[in-house]
Amino acid sequence: MAEDQPGNPETVSTPSGATLRVRRSGPLRGSCRVPGDKSISHRALLFGALADGVVEARGLGRGGDNLSTAAALRALGVDVALAGDEARIHGVGFAGLRAAAGPLDCGNSGTTIRLLLGLLAGRPFESELYGDASLTRRPMRRIADPLRRMGASVEGRADAARPGDVFPPLRVRGGALTGIAYDLPVASAQLKSALVLAGLQAAGTTTLREPGRSRDHTERMLRAMGAPIAVDAGTGAVVVDPAGWNGRLRAVPIVIPGDLSSATFLFVAAATIAGSDVTVENVGLNPTRAGALDVLRAMGADIAVTPAGDALGEPVGRVRVRGSRLRGTTVAGDLALRAIDEIPALAVAAALADGETVFADLAELRVKESDRIVAIARELRRAGVVIDERPDGFAVGGLGGRPPAGGTVQPEHDHRIAMAGAVLGLSAGDETVVPAADIATSFPTFSETLAALGALID
């Protein structure tokens, strides 16, 4: 496989420092695709590195976060070749990983740093992991504590504002781990996946129980690759029992569906602009993270989903959205958990709907790439939307057909806040200016995709 060369259209992304200008747009129409699912792409790279042989992955997300994972694996001695949306990973197993020559740069990616922490907790060498300014503010105690209980040494930066927590840069020294039974303090796919990776290297069984059901991409892919992992049908607990296992995953081809989180921005744009008719092909429809579709349906969106099979246990399909008048709803509990990464896009739908939409049980948004509750409240107020910020969410008073105000979005290095501001700008009475460099974290072709559907964005 030939490596990407400069100028390859498959790797086009918004240049650093770029700015998007968004104007009120007419109906969006057409069919499109979105980049490969970011969460599944991380796992394809990481689990491919642990395989017994060469893993070919197609449909790989090429945003900055996935590239951070690929670069970190190379630094750990794994041959990862990328070309367009394809990857060829020469698996080395857990035992084949080697200490990096220097600190591992995880960029803006919480998934990269957290899953690597679990992976490296069982390796007999020391590693340092760091990231950009946004990642450096994200708390890591919830992962450090159970890994320490299993036998790893994890150290990080202290912060007087959150005594007892640890923040990147992180230093982990792995070694002999022991399985644990652990109740996760929050439902988190990143935390669960990190502990699964540690549990695969531990002596004894690791049992993980969550307060809610987080996305299960890790369980699906690892089972398909032959890992000793099971999910208790009664309790939902994830059980890892590596006794007798050879420590290598089975090398299988991986096809990655389109990213539902990226697609949700297109769904909201289509649903909120009268006369729109947009179809997104090959979208991942995993029920543990498809809450955004349920929220939009509850708001009255005209949505048609056509299943098209599955890819390595992940359901895939086509989603068609047409413009309609949306109404307020409540997003809480399990529904909020299944839509947590799509909340910035759904907040835009709420802003343009009739009536009030309440978002609750979302305290986790405060420790994403930004404090997303604060960021969403700030951006909606800038656009003239009434919003009541709460400790674990917010309530939005929909504009009910009135156009939002334009202005300048302040993403604070959060790709989803930037994209949400742009989608809101498609309905605004004045031009909206969006600092766009961070959009490439997950959706490098965001503006080009919207423009091809008829959006006034450049």
Catalytic residues: 341
Q: Starting at the edge strand that comes first in sequence, how are the strands of the sheet with 229-231 ordered?
A: 181-183, 206-209, 238-240, 229-231
Residue with tokens 């009030």, as numbered in its chain: 356
Q: How is residue 405 annotated by DSSP?
A: P
Residues 111, 143: Cα–Cα separation, whole Å: 12
Rg (CA), the chain: 21
Contacts of 211 (CB under 8 A, 6+ apart): 183, 184, 185, 186, 187
Token pair recorded at residue 263: 């697609």
Six-digit token string for 436: 């766009």
**296 vs 332: CA distance, rounded Å:** 14
- The residue type found at 434 is V
Half-sphere exposure of 135 (CA within 13 A, CB side): 22
* Residue corresponding to tokens 């917010």: 394
Between CA 122 and CA 102 the distance in angstroms is 19
End-to-end CA gap in the chain: 34
Q: State the amino acid at position 453 in one-letter form.
A: L
Cβ-Cβ contacts under 8 Å for 282 (sequence gap 6 or more): 33, 59, 257, 258, 308, 316, 317, 318
Check residue 52 and report its DSSP letter: S
Q: Please state whether beta strands 177-178 and 202-203 pair in parallel, antiparallel, or not at all (unpaired).
A: parallel
Exposure class string for 63-92: b at 16+ Cβ within 10 A, else e: bbbbbbbbbbbebbebebbbbbbbbebbbb
